Amino acid sequence: METFDVAIVGGGPAGSSCAAFCALAGLDTLVLERENFPREKVCGDCLNPSCWSVLERLGLQQQIRNLPHSKLDSVAFIAIEGHEVVVDLPTGDACEFSVKRSLFDDLLLKRARELGAHVREGTTVTALANGGSWKIQTATAETFSAQTLIGADGRNSTVARLSSLLPQPIRERVALQAHIPLPRDFGRRVVLQFLREGYSGQAPVNETELNLCLVGTPPTISKLRQWAERHFEIAAHQPWRTITPLTRSPVSCAHENLLFIGDAARVVEPFTGEGIYYALRSGELAADAIKKIIRGKDRQLALRDFARASAEMYHGRLWINRLARTAVLSPRIASFLIQAARVQPIFRSLTKRIVVPNF
Ligand SMILES: Cc1cc2nc3c(=O)[nH]c(=O)nc-3n(C[C@H](O)[C@H](O)[C@H](O)COP(=O)(O)OP(=O)(O)OC[C@H]3O[C@@H](n4cnc5c(N)ncnc54)[C@H](O)[C@@H]3O)c2cc1C
């Protein structure tokens, strides 16, 4: 059986970032990823400017900028009745940037591999046993062993479920996502559009494609899809990706020899487009903690530092995310706010707080 310092379940932004930083530190690192990359994923495909500093430390900033992408210059909030508030986004290097997850995630996972991590794609983790070190079993009956295990396997984390740590999901909403032909004159805006049945996020991801997300409840999602088919003249056979839940209680991120990062630790409201940053940064913080533990520093201290740094990462940002969740759960109230001219400066200042780079 192969034995590693650290095994990471999930090769999304959280897992790849953690694996790359662990490998950079000379740790024997394994990544087990269910899918074969490149693969798409339900996401708005927008990178918050805070991502750039982590990507720089991964040595990937320029390569990401070289991928087919769109630089987004404004965000338009559209009320149910059509009233619009437009807020400018930062320009230059710290801009809001959109790129398809198939390209972005593939580059990150390749970087982890390049730095020395062992990456196993098409490998689903199905069972875990913890007896001081971890035994990890896969759907193809392979077994691996590792000192530390990282749950980086997204909002429906198998690692959390198998460790009896996964909170009961709140199946209140569902998201659909597709890439469709970019409508002419769409511009380089992000559109956040409230509809009676939920909301839609739209952003160009290159010169020819639009990322289209729909968020509703199980009874309303088909109406949202019909709206999108009419509004964007999409064929009824358009394939859509789907995901649920959109809301879930957090999982405590630091355990004895088990850490959770990215969506596996905490799911945030997609409306503000920050999940990828939290995934990348929490991966970096976890790698730092493991490095300290393997080099013989006090384990409890390293775990406490990791938990504190993770909490700090969200500090001052989560309340905006909660506000956004409250707004999107009541599209009528959100629409009323968009129409109330005097609250428009509030939209501007909240947007600025979200897109200010965080180092
Ligand atoms: C509708 C919607 C729109 C969004 N828009 C944005 C946006 O514009 N910008 C933004 O920053 N964030 C956005 N997000 C959030 C963002 O998608 C997530 O926060 C981000 O993907 C989290 O990364 P992660 O690495 O933690 O998890 P994931 O990206 O979910 O990666 C987890 C990986 O684990 C693998 N895996 C799962 N189970 C197993 C298993 N048992 N064995 C092995 N591998 C496994 C999966 O295949 C996957 O590759 C959006 C989310 C939604 C739902």
Task: Summarize pLDDT for 58-86 with one digit per residue, the tens.
Answer: 999 999 999 999 999 999 989 898 988 88
Question: 270: cis peptide before it, omega within 30°?
Answer: no
Band of pLDDT at residue 271, cut at 50, 70 and 90: confident
Q: Mean pLDDT across the stretch 228-254? A: 93
Which amino acid, 311? Answer: A
Least confident of 6-20, 38-52, 235-249, 342-356: 342-356
The answer to whether the CB of 48 is under 6 A from ligand 1 is yes
- Which residue, by CA, sits nearest to atom 2 of ligand 1? 43
Q: Please count the residues of the chain.
A: 359
Tokens found for residue 266 = 């905490």
- Report the percentage of the chain scoring pLDDT > 90: 74
- Residue 77: both structure tokens together: 């909030």
| More confident of the two residues 32 and 87 | 32
Backbone angles phi and psi of 258, in degrees to 5: -140, 125
Terminal Cα distance for the chain, rounded: 40
What backbone phi and psi angles, to 5 degrees, belong to 181? -60, 140
Burial of residue 116 (number of CB atoms within 10 Å: 0-12, 13-18, 19+): middle
Residue type, 107: L
pLDDT tops 90 at residue 168 = no
- pLDDT tens for 90-117 read 888 888 899 999 999 999 999 999 999 9
- Check residue 253 and report its DSSP letter: S
Q: How far is the CA of 181 from the centre of ligand 1 (A)?
A: 24
Q: How confident is the model at residue 337 (pLDDT cuts 50, 70, 90)?
A: confident
Q: Which helix (H) or strand (E) covers residue 110, if one does?
A: helix 101-114
Ligand 1 near 331 CB (within 6 A): no
pLDDT at position 206:
98
Reduce the DSSP state of residue 36 to 3 states and report it: coil
Q: Verify whether ligand 1 is closer than 6 Å to residue 262 (CB atom).
A: yes
- Three-state secondary-structure class, residue 280: helix
Say yes or no: CB of residue 33 within 6 Å of ligand 1: yes
Q: Is 135 in the pocket of ligand 1 (CB under 6 A)?
A: no
Exposure string for 325-353, b = 16+ CB within 10 A, e = fewer: bebbbebeebbbbbeeeeebeebeebbee
Tell me the average pLDDT across 17-44: 98
CA dihedral 100, 101, 104, 107 (to 10 degrees): -120
Token pair 């009233």 in the structure block, residue: 83
Residue 225: phi and psi, rounded to 5, are: -65, -40
Where do the domains of the chain lie, and which CATH numbers do they carry?
Answer: 2-44+100-170+248-320 (3.50.50.60)
> How, if at all, do strands 74-78 and 96-98 pair?
unpaired
